[in-house]
Amino acid sequence: MVMCSAVCCKNRSATDKKSPGFSSMKMFSFPKDIQRKKLWINAIKRANWTPTNNSRVCQAHFEESMFLRKSVEGRWRLVHDAIPTLFQHSKKKNERKLPLNRNKDAEELLKKQRFLFSEHSYTKDPWLSNKEDDSDPDNDVKRPILSDIFIQEAPEIEVITHVPCSNCINLLAANKFLSAKVRNLQAKIAKNKVSIITTNKTRKKIPKKTISSNNKSRKNNNYKSVQ
């Protein structure tokens, strides 16, 4: 029985019989290339585990862009640089912090406002009136309290921490692998350019008379062979 090597995955190969709780899937073996094989192992994230020749990864862990279908055979195949990226451990929930203490924030705001009033005590308090006005019962109006003015209910603040991309590690590794390939190809191109330059230089050193005489001898030989 061939089953998927991913953590918490119960999928098995399409050739096996269906059983309750299992789904038949197309299985893919680990790549033979060492670097690509390491990318697959890092993506699966199984502790103290090394894949064997019989280890497989099902199609559920690959994105649609990783597949290449041949119309002649009609079978789904992976592209050369395919990497499994869809796993349960890659779905991380955003961490949420508790809202700030609203009463504590209101108290701090009140202290700041009181400090400002004490610094500007020479100004006239708009809620203070003359003694004659205070004696008048008609003017006996309840004054607003400073705490009623400045203590307001602070809005609930939702803080979402930064969650890194689950595929960034795999993409960086794939980028390094492709960059190494590009460097190798550039080295080959440079080597071929050097060989072309050297051949052109050697051709220039050969006298033109020698080249023309060789061409004439070839023409004569061809003419004789025709006769």
- pLDDT of amino acid 221: 66
Question: How distant, in Å, are the alpha carbons of 33, 66, 145, 167 from that of 171?
Answer: 17, 13, 61, 6
- Give the whole-number percent of the chain exceeding pLDDT 70: 51
- pLDDT of amino acid 204: 77
- pLDDT of amino acid 189: 93
56-58 and 76-78 strand pairing: unpaired
What is the Cα–Cα distance from 186 to 180, expressed in whole angstroms? 10
What is the Cα–Cα distance from 108 to 116, expressed in whole angstroms? 13
What is the Cα–Cα distance from 195 to 45, expressed in whole angstroms? 47
What is the Cα–Cα distance from 173 to 180, expressed in whole angstroms? 11
The stretches in the chain having pLDDT less than 70 are: 1, 14-24, 69-74, 89-105, 115-166, 207-227
Contact between residue 146 and residue 115 where contact means Cβ atoms under 8 Å apart: no
- pLDDT of amino acid 10: 83
User: Model's pTM, two decimal places?
Assistant: 0.36
What is the Cα–Cα distance from 125 to 116, expressed in whole angstroms? 13
| Chain segment 100-114, per-residue pLDDT in tens | 555 666 777 777 777
Q: Where are the domains of the chain?
A: 12-90, 102-150, 168-226
- pLDDT of amino acid 132: 46
Residue 77 CB burial class (10 angstroms; 0-12, 13-18, ≥19)? middle
Tokens representing 73 are 């055979």
CA angle 12, 18, 22 (to 5 degrees): 50
What is the Cα–Cα distance from 147 to 109, expressed in whole angstroms? 10
CA angle 189, 192, 194 (to 5 degrees): 110
Write the DSSP symbol of residue 124. Answer: P
| Chain segment 111-144, per-residue pLDDT in tens | 777 766 665 555 445 444 444 444 455 555 555 5
